[in-house]
A and B are shown apart, each in its own frame.
Chain A
Amino acid sequence: MSIERRKERIDRPIKAVTDDIFCLSSIREIAYLVIPRMLPVLGLLLLAFFVPQYWRKVMVITFVMGMMALSWDFMASCGLTSLGQALFFALGAYSAGAMNHYFGLPIYLSIPLGTIIGAIISTACIYPTLGLRGIYFSVVTLIIPLMLMRIVETTGIFGGTEGITGLSPFPGIIVTMAVSMIALWLTFFGLRRLIDSDYGHIFVALKDNDRAVEASGLSIRWFKVQAIFIGSGVCCFSGAFMTHYYMSIGMSAFAIDLSIFPIAASVVGGMGTLAGPLLGAIILGPLSEALRAFGSYRVVIYAALLGTFIVTLPEGLFPYLARKYQQIERWVEAPGGISED
């Protein structure tokens, strides 16, 4: 009888220990849990000090785009896959820009106000479409930014094609990096906590089985509105931040580039787990900068990566890495042969 082998995957011993109260039993267990979380935070912090000036700017942009990826993933976890994150980004950006330009508010007021107003307007925009499911919702989110872009271009409101320039800048690169980094980690850890909490479970239930939610006496629409508000709020913050970072805002805030990036980051990093899109953003952000020399081919490589990942590694990088970290794979004997049915 030939010995057949199969691949077995089981949790690492240390993972089994840390799953329970015993995670506090020694430094080793605590480290096992804390290091994967602290490593990126501290690592990026250190990196921020050592990279050349130009790459610092790239890091700031990566953080902001990472927040957009997080917001996309959050909304996707609630069952709302939007193909138009650019919409929320632009609404936040224009709100902050308008606050700053037309009302003369200083930067530390215009960004928060821009975020909140942007989130309110985004929710209002999306509200009528909350009755749609699946692909229809995605298509609507794809076309609204395109439409708004054309309308801004034609009617010339908010500066039209030339946009609004000369907005107040950030006081120095240190402040910029600090704000963006803090905002990123707050969003990331905050959203993770949110999804894991009881309140967050309702959002996840919206995706899995929304009729169960309705049957429990909770209004689907109202919770979807809340999900959109939170998700778009994060995105609006990105928009408001970038407006002041570049001291200008224009029609290009609706660009399809901005809608594709969060999707690409999520596909590469792993949809559903908030850490995945962040990982994806951290990979794709500097990568797309490094590829700038290729000009238009950059988008080609981007899209090719996206397509390849979705076909070959649909779960994304993060689940793959997490699996390696938490489980061991090994070949074991399968006495009696592997059953074939």
Chain B
Amino acid sequence: MGCTKTISKEGFMILWKILCRITLVLIALLFLASHVSFAAPPPIVIGVPSSFKSIEASEGLKAITLAVEEINAKGGVKVGNEKRMLKVESIETRDMEPGVPLADALLANEKLILEKKPHVIIQGPTRSEVLLAAMDLYAQYKIPSINNAVASKFVDQYKSNPEKYRHCFRMFDGKYVVAGLGKVMEKMNKEYGFKKAYIVVQDAIWAVGIANGMNAWYKANGWEVVGFDKYPTGASDFSSSLIKAKNAGVQVVFPIFDMPQSGILVQQWKDMKVPAIFAGFISPLMGSNAWKTFGEKIEGVINIVFDGGNLPLEKYPPAKKFYDAFTKRWGEMQVGHKPAVDYDGVYAMVRAIERAGSLDPDKIAKELEKTNMVGATGRIHFADHQYVFGDDPKVDAISAVYQWKKGGKRVPIYPDSVAEGVIEKPASMK
């Protein structure tokens, strides 16, 4: 019995030695492989730390990739004397999932920064809470970023310490939704005399911010707001709001949702035969597939595309050009927010790098502030590190509001500079 033990022990030792040697060789190879440098200058790395379960974020990533491919096809970015290619490195931060702690999402951001060493960040975190915390992180590592989370708090945080956050920029602000939809409400008031509204909103910081803004607009313009209901993410029964709205004779229901369950809201609206027009932001109803999924139930719904470039606007060619390029590369776009502004963001960042002539973060930040270019979503320029949105794509960036019409057509109705039709009453109101 003792013999068996010694033999196996020896055999074990031999095996162990072989294993150690193999492991050492593998480690050496890995080490070498990661440090091999090619003749060409290293690419400029664009970091995209976002939550791609959110369909807007993943479409945005596709738009970023599209822009990068276009720029690389033309030879890359001119930094000083040399031309360098662009490379996209993304990481899934899972920040859109309800159970994921803020700390986890931030750690993912940090992992991207420390391992892939991006020079710039485009799109950034999906959830606004994460962006507000990540701003400190980007400031600490000095990475110029153009971010896409929508909460208005970004501007407050930026202004609280412009020096610290000088590399941080942002694309879209929720307050522009209020401005755009406010104009649409005005139109409906003038055309049809609508004056009663009901606000139904997803309980997320960006959505409630927009809804509060709209509430204030309604009050300031003489509308009556019959109700203001918040639904936690994942709620699937909106009957109480619809019942109250119907009983009060409400003419306009104002929804702000990006969760998939919001499609149920429309289903229940139809089931309960509520005679009111839907005007707001409902993500599942955004893209061309919505007509296939819902059919003519959604005729008459008014939806706002945060970045106008996501609609093929006939009257603004750069938007149509972007939409067609995206469709050709990836298939039809199904969201109303992120692709166009991300696409423009890449171009803005690249132009800034070229003007700065280097990859120095402070220089890039300074040049970004001076951005003034024609983009897919209008004219891109910053004020307080924020894209400026307005009415005319030749002057500012624009949102676009459209209405679903017979046959599954999305007809833009606002702003007037790109409108192709007028607002019609839905079937339930005729």
Contacts and interface: CB of A to CB of B under 8 A. Distances in A.
Contacts of B232: 150, 153-154
B99 A330 contact: no
Nearest to A258: B101
A14 interface: no
A18 interface: no
A52 B132 CA distance: 27
Contact of B110 (A57, A153, A242): A57
Contacts of A295: 92, 94
A236 B106 CA distance: 21
Interface string B70-100: 0000000000000000000000101001011
A57 B110 CA distance: 10
Contacts of A166: 136
A182 to B, nearest CB: 21
Interface in B101-145: 101-104, 106-108, 110-111, 114-115, 128-129, 132-133, 136
Contacts of A153: 203, 232
B290 interface: no
Contacts of B30: none
Q: By CB atoms of chain A within 10 A, which of B53, B104, B204 has the most?
A: B104
Interface string A108-128: 000000000000000000000
B129 A61 contact: no
A122 to B, nearest CB: 19
Contacts of B101: 250, 252-253, 255, 257-258
Interface residues of B, number: 30
A326 interface: no
Given A150-B232, A292-B111, A257 B128 contact: no
Contacts of A154: 203, 230, 232
Given A161-B203, A248-B102, A257-B100, A53 B133 contact: no
Interface centre among A61, A162, A257 (most CB of B within 10 A): A162
B153 interface: yes
Interface string A125-161: 0000000000000000000000000100110000011
B103 A162 contact: no
B102 A250 contact: yes
Contacts of A54: 110-111, 114-115
Contacts of A247: 133, 136
B1 interface: yes
Contacts of A57: 107, 110
A285 to B, nearest CB: 12
Interface string A219-263: 000000000000000000000001001111110110111100000
Binding site secondary structure of chain B: helix
Taking residues whose C-beta sits less than 8 angstroms from the other chain, chain A's interface range is 20 to 34
Interface in B174-216: 203-205
B136 A256 contact: no
A50 interface: no
A333 B145 CA distance: 73
B33 to A, nearest CB: 17
A255 B203 contact: no
Nearest to A246: B103
Contacts of B115: 54
Contact of A257 (B104, B153, B204, B230): B104
A52 B114 CA distance: 10
A54 B113 CA distance: 10
Nearest to A58: B107
Contacts of A246: 102-103, 106, 133
A200 interface: no
A103 interface: no
B240 to A, nearest CB: 15
Contacts of B132: 162, 165
B227 to A, nearest CB: 16
Interface string B1-20: 10000000000000000000
A153 B1 CA distance: 67
A61 B136 CA distance: 19
A284 to B, nearest CB: 14
B102 A163 contact: yes
Among B92, B103, B107, B111, residue most surrounded by chain A Cβ atoms (within 10 Å): B103
Interface string B377-399: 00000000000000000000000
Contacts of B205: 160-162
Q: Which 7 A-B pairs have the closest CB atoms?
A: A252-B101, A54-B114, A295-B92, A246-B103, A255-B99, A250-B102, A162-B129
Given A154-B203, A252-B102, A255-B100, 19 more contacts: A53-B114, A54-B115, A161-B129, A161-B203, A161-B205, A162-B151, A245-B103, A246-B102, A246-B103, A246-B133, A248-B133, A250-B129, A252-B99, A252-B101, A255-B99, A256-B99, A292-B108, A295-B92, A330-B1
11 contacts: A52-B114, A54-B110, A57-B107, A161-B203, A161-B204, A162-B205, A242-B103, A246-B106, A255-B100, A255-B101, A296-B53
